[in-house]
């Protein structure tokens, strides 16, 4: 804090022209990569989304056009999937946050005195990454299938109706999404909480705030950068996820998300314009939601 | 006393048999302390002496290993920090970085649901002359400004007991004087009890009614600043609170009125009332500004002590006064502060001199000074580095 006064010291401009040329040179590989693998496919996707079926063509043959009706069609055909995608992603984000915050708080704040424990717990958080995402989700499918030990036990204890299922329900999909994205929530939360200056919490309690108020008024606002980063890292991929909701994994016919619809349109129905239009909608919706979220959470100056 | 309302007046603070242990070391051995309501009490000591721990115990940020804490007669040992009618000005200021200056100052008032929190916060900011920066974030303020905000944030709550943890450290001299005065005024106006923790002896002496000098987890001596300065009881106090010339020798004779000590063949007389010990090996001392420098051997006199001859080995001029260091064979070095009033000799290095002081200004200590620590040169870079390191270690331990 005492050094904050020095941080505004002016930066001395050093030979700007020469430096900018070197900077440009160093940026070149990155820029080329972006143009080749991001901008080009994006334009191609945009163009595909406006295509129309080729005259006298086979299934899967399209020609370039300005067929914006594609967007109207997919919106009216797939609006439940769009709503479901964001609903599931939101639920998974909230659950992951509720689960990760205490965990990250424990590792980053309470366990500070024991670096060994901190390290061990962080390894445990990251450990699932050592096994493929698909394998882990398949394992959950096995563990939670109708014949599995867990489900038969729950049924035997009358905690589940005898004819109920777990896999194929929205709950199973949200469970899978939450499980798969928890490390992406925990790690950013941990990095901000690990740097949390406990003297602010002491100052809060010195100023008559009870522990809950200190948490609400001091801890949460100070960990906002981690919360924003974690929720974005969870929400964005969860909204576009097509593995958990897939019939082959934890989902069922009624739990299809946008990712599944895009996959089906691209690979099964060969309706490329519809798939491309859905992809663009997904991307735009996420951009708008994230923009509003970052603006509303007021963390521009904290990020 | 409820924390929901402003304190009408300051409250007594009473620490009874406080002991605080941390894993590996004891911060406070045994502390009994009573601070009467409405007083300005300074806890003075070097880093790592346990003074900040004492403050944190009173604030409720640490729990004592044993002992009781009473504020205004009520036992608060078991209550949490937010339930105590106490506010702290932290050394690190601990201003909430995500709130504006105004929100920071209003924080305590809002928690206590006191009406017109923002109005009162503005008032407190006006007091520290920072109302024009009310909407800024703490990070946009200078160190001194942050400190004043921290002060406003604490005093706006009118606590029965205000704890100050080296709150004026980052201020420049002028602002520091201004804030000292301001604090004093607030304290007198409202009659709050102030507990001020500092390592700056000048600050402690100018502001506090009562100063307690703390060393190694215990209070060495406590009293009014003038009393402590004029009559230190231990060599630690004698050297920490200002400078002292200390001489150790055996008591050679004593009467009801005075004791005389044999210092390298010379007799140094100290009034018996000002000496803690009257027999055996004792350390006696005198403040450098009480000592006069003489060019010629003075006539023997019963009301002055004389040591010498010796040679001036260092002269440093500091405007108001000049500091002479005189080396006297067999005695060691004697520091003399001479006011630059134009009277008295002005001598250069190497000149042969005698030093003399009135008997009534001498004092006798309770302990025997460690000769090595007496005039350890603390200005060279190695010892500064060592000292800094010790401070850092102490700080780490305190945390």
Portion 350-369 of B in contact with A at CB < 8 A: none
Domain membership of residue B2 (yes or no) is no
Question: What mean pLDDT is reported for chain B?
Answer: 85
> Distance (Å, rounded) from C-alpha A212 to C-alpha B314?
62
pLDDT computed for residue A7 by the predictor: 42
pLDDT computed for residue A152 by the predictor: 87
pLDDT tens track for B185-240: 877 777 788 899 988 888 888 888 899 999 888 889 999 999 999 999 999 999 88
Nearest CA in chain A to B97: A222
Q: Which of B228, B244, B266 is the last residue of a domain?
A: B228
Domain membership of residue A33 (yes or no) is no
Portion 135-154 of B in contact with A at CB < 8 A: 138-143, 146, 153
Q: CATH number for the domain including A258?
A: 1.10.3720.10
Overall number of domains in chain A? 1
Closest CA to B71 of B63, B83, B62: B83
- Examine the pLDDT at A18 and tell me if it is beyond 70: no
| Same-domain status, B157 and B185 | yes
CB contact under 8 A, A4 and B139: yes
Please report, for chain A, how many H helices and E strands are present, in that order. 13, 2
Chain B nearest C-alpha distance from A291 (Å): 21
Length of chain A: 303
Domain membership of residue A9 (yes or no) is no
- Here the tokens at position B105 are 């100052």
| B2 interface with A at CB cutoff 8 Å | no
Closest CA to B88 of B145, B154, B147, B186: B154
Q: Residues B51, B371, B349, B286: is their CA dihedral positive or negative?
A: positive
| Same-domain status, B204 and B291 | no
The secondary structure of residue B131, as a DSSP letter, is G
CB contact under 8 A, A202 and B98: no
> Distance (Å, rounded) from C-alpha A266 to C-alpha B313?
95
CB A276, CB A68: distance < 8 Å: no
pLDDT tens track for A218-228: 999 999 999 99
Cβ neighbours of B195 in A, within 8 Å: none
Residues 6+ apart with CB under 8 A from A84: A170, A255, A256, A257
Those residues of chain A whose CB sits closer than 8 Å to some CB in chain B are 1-2, 4-5, 7, 197, 199-200, 202-211, 213-214, 217-218, 221-222, 224, 302
Domain membership of residue A68 (yes or no) is yes
Crossing angle, helix B117-127 and helix B143-155, to 10 degrees?
A: 130
Domain membership of residue B51 (yes or no) is yes
Domain membership of residue A58 (yes or no) is yes
> Distance (Å, rounded) from C-alpha A28 to C-alpha B306?
84
CB A218, CB A173: distance < 8 Å: no
CA B376 to chain centre: 20
Domain membership of residue B304 (yes or no) is yes
Chain A nearest C-alpha distance from B6 (Å): 12
| Same-domain status, B96 and B216 | yes
Q: Mean pLDDT over residues B81-104, rounded?
A: 92
CB contact under 8 A, B60 and A217: no
pLDDT tier for residue B387 given thresholds of 50, 70 and 90: low
Phi, psi dihedrals of residue B307, rounded to the nearest 5°: -130, 145
pLDDT computed for residue B374 by the predictor: 42
Helix, strand, coil content of chain B in percent (nearest 5)? 30, 35, 35
pLDDT computed for residue B139 by the predictor: 92
| Same-domain status, B220 and B237 | no
CB A285, CB A82: distance < 8 Å: yes
Residues 6+ apart with CB under 8 A from B309: B297, B328, B352, B353, B354
> Distance (Å, rounded) from C-alpha B18 to C-alpha B31?
5
- Here the tokens at position A106 are 């424990």
> Distance (Å, rounded) from C-alpha A302 to C-alpha B313?
58
Domain membership of residue B4 (yes or no) is no
Domain membership of residue A40 (yes or no) is no
- Examine the pLDDT at A31 and tell me if it is beyond 60: yes
Chain A nearest C-alpha distance from B147 (Å): 10
Domain membership of residue B381 (yes or no) is yes
> Distance (Å, rounded) from C-alpha A37 to C-alpha A177?
27
| Same-domain status, B175 and B115 | yes
Angle (CA) A267 A272 A274, round 5°:
110
pLDDT tens track for A96-112: 999 999 999 999 999 99
**What is the phi-psi region of residue B67: left when phi exceeds 0, alpha when psi lies from -120 to 50, beta otherwise?**
left
Closest CA to A180 of A242, A125, A137: A137
Domain membership of residue A302 (yes or no) is no
pLDDT tier for residue B345 given thresholds of 50, 70 and 90: low
Chain A nearest C-alpha distance from B50 (Å): 18
Cβ atoms within 10 Å of B162's Cβ, excluding its own: 27
What is the residue whose two structure tokens read 């997904």?
A282
Domain membership of residue B7 (yes or no) is no
Q: Which of B228, B247, B274 is the last residue of a domain?
A: B228
Beta-bridge mates of residue B223: B211
| Same-domain status, B171 and B311 | no
pLDDT tens track for A160-184: 888 888 888 999 999 999 999 999 9
3-state secondary structure of B70: strand
Cβ neighbours of B87 in A, within 8 Å: 206-207
CA distances in angstroms from A41 to A35, A242, A273, B25, B88, listed in the order given: 9, 20, 14, 65, 60
CB contact under 8 A, B61 and A205: yes
Phi, psi dihedrals of residue B60, rounded to the nearest 5°: 95, 15
Cβ neighbours of A207 in B, within 8 Å: 82, 87, 107-108, 111, 153, 157
Cα torsion A25, A28, A30, A36 to 10°: value is 180
| Same-domain status, B332 and B390 | no
pLDDT tens track for B243-280: 899 998 889 888 888 898 988 888 889 998 998 888 88
- What whole-number percentage of chain B has pLDDT above 90? 35
pLDDT tens track for B31-48: 898 998 888 899 998 888
Domain membership of residue A41 (yes or no) is no
CB contact under 8 A, B94 and A202: yes
Domain membership of residue B3 (yes or no) is no
> Distance (Å, rounded) from C-alpha A113 to C-alpha A101?
19
Omega before A2 cis (within 30°)? Answer: no
Closest CA to B50 of B26, B17, B77, B16: B26
pLDDT computed for residue A295 by the predictor: 84
What is the residue whose two structure tokens read 């004043």?
B148
On the 0-12 / 13-18 / 19+ scale of CB atoms within 10 A, B140 is: middle
Cβ neighbours of B91 in A, within 8 Å: none
Residues 6+ apart with CB under 8 A from B15: B31, B32, B33, B34, B54, B57, B58, B67, B68, B69, B70
Domain membership of residue B104 (yes or no) is yes
- Examine the pLDDT at B119 and tell me if it is beyond 80: yes
Chain B nearest C-alpha distance from A190 (Å): 19
pLDDT computed for residue B294 by the predictor: 87
Phi, psi dihedrals of residue B93, rounded to the nearest 5°: 65, -45
Cβ neighbours of B143 in A, within 8 Å: 1-2, 4-5
Residues 6+ apart with CB under 8 A from B363: B230, B231, B232, B238, B270, B274, B275, B284, B285, B286
Q: Above 0.85 for ipTM, yes or no?
A: no
Beta-bridge mates of residue B279: none
Q: Which one of A208, A212, A215, A226 would you mutate to disrupt binding with B, by most B Cβ within 10 Å of its Cβ? A: A208
Give the range of the structural domain holding residue A93, as residue numbers without chain letter: 46-297
| Same-domain status, B356 and B376 | no
Give the range of the structural domain holding residue B390, as residue numbers without chain letter: 371-399
CB A213, CB A229: distance < 8 Å: no
> Distance (Å, rounded) from C-alpha B308 to C-alpha B331?
9
Chain B nearest C-alpha distance from A222 (Å): 7
Overall number of domains in chain B? 3
DSSP assignment of B336-359 equals: EEEE-SS-S----TT-EEEEEEEG
What is the residue whose two structure tokens read 């060599």?
B235
What is the residue whose two structure tokens read 């040992």?
B77
Q: CATH number for the domain including B183?
A: 3.40.50.300
Portion 65-124 of B in contact with A at CB < 8 A: 80-82, 86-88, 90, 92-99, 107-108, 111-112
Of A197, A202, A208, the CB nearest to B111: A208
Chain A nearest C-alpha distance from B88 (Å): 7
CB contact under 8 A, B108 and A224: no
């Amino acid at each position: 804090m005492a050094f904050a006064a020095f941080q505004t010291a002016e930066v001395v401009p050093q030979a700007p022209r020469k430096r900018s040329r070197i900077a440009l040179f160093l940026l070149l590989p990155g820029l080329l990569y972006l143009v080749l693998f991001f901008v080009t496919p994006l334009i191609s996707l945009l163009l595909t989304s406006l295509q129309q079926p080729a005259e006298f063509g086979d299934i899967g043959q399209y020609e370039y056009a300005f067929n914006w009706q594609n967007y109207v069609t997919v919106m009216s055909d797939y609006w439940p999937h769009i709503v479901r995608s964001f609903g599931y992603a939101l639920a998974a984000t909230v659950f992951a946050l509720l689960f990760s915050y205490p965990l990250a708080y424990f590792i980053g704040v309470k366990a500070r005195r024991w670096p060994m424990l901190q390290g061990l717990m962080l390894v445990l958080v990251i450990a699932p990454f050592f096994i493929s995402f698909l394998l882990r989700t398949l394992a959950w499918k096995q563990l939670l299938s109708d014949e599995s030990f867990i489900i038969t036990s729950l049924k035997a204890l009358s905690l589940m109706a005898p004819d109920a299922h777990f896999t194929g329900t929205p709950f199973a999909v949200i469970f899978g999404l939450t499980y798969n994205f928890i490390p992406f929530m925990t790690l950013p939360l941990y990095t901000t909480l690990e740097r949390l200056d406990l003297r602010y919490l002491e100052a809060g309690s010195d100023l008559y705030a009870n522990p809950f108020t200190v948490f609400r008024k001091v801890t949460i606002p100070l960990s906002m950068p981690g919360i924003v980063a974690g929720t974005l890292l969870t929400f964005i991929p969860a909204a576009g996820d097509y593995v958990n909701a897939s019939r082959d994994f934890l989902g069922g016919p009624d739990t299809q998300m946008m990712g599944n619809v895009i996959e089906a349109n691209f690979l099964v129905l060969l309706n490329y314009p519809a798939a491309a239009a859905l992809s663009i909608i997904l991307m735009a919706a996420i951009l708008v939601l994230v923009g509003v979220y970052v603006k509303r959470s007021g963390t521009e100056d904290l990020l | 006393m409820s924390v929901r309302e402003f304190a009408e007046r300051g409250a007594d603070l009473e620490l009874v048999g406080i002991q605080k242990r941390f894993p590996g070391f004891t911060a406070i051995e045994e502390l009994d302390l009573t601070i009467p309501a409405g007083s300005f009490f300074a806890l003075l000591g070097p880093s790592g002496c346990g003074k900040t721990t004492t403050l944190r115990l009173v604030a409720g940020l640490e729990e004592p290993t044993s002992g009781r804490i009473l504020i205004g007669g009520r036992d608060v040992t078991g209550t949490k920090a937010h339930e105590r009618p106490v506010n702290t000005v932290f050394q690190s200021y601990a201003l909430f970085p995500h709130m504006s200056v105004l929100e920071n100052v209003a924080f305590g008032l809002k928690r206590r649901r006191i009406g017109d929190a923002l109005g009162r916060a503005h008032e407190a900011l006006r007091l520290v002359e920072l109302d024009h920066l009310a909407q800024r974030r703490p990070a946009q303020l200078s160190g001194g400004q942050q400190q004043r905000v921290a002060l406003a944030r604490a005093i706006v709550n009118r606590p029965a007991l205000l704890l100050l943890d080296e709150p004026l450290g980052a201020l420049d001299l002028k602002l520091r004087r201004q804030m000292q005065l301001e604090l004093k005024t607030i304290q007198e106006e409202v009659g709050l009890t102030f507990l001020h923790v500092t390592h700056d002896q000048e600050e402690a002496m100018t502001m506090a009614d009562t100063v307690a000098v703390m060393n190694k987890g215990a209070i060495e001596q406590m009293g009014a600043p003038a009393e402590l300065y004029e009559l230190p009881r231990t060599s630690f106090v004698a050297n920490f609170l200002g400078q002292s010339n200390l001489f150790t020798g055996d008591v050679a004779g004593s009467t009801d009125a005075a004791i005389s000590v044999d210092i390298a063949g010379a007799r140094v007389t100290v009034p018996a009332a000002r000496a803690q010990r009257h027999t055996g090996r004792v350390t006696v001392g005198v403040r450098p500004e009480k000592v006069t420098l003489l060019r010629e051997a003075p006539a023997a006199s019963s009301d002055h002590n004389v040591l010498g001859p010796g040679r001036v080995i260092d002269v440093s001029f500091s405007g108001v006064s000049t500091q002479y260091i005189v080396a006297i064979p067999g005695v060691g070095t004697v520091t003399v502060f001479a006011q630059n009033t134009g009277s008295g000799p002005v001598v250069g290095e190497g000149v042969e001199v005698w030093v003399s002081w009135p008997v009534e200004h001498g004092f006798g200590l309770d302990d025997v000074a460690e000769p090595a620590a007496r005039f350890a040169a603390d200005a060279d870079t190695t010892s500064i580095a060592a000292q800094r390191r010790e401070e850092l270690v102490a700080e780490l331990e305190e945390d």
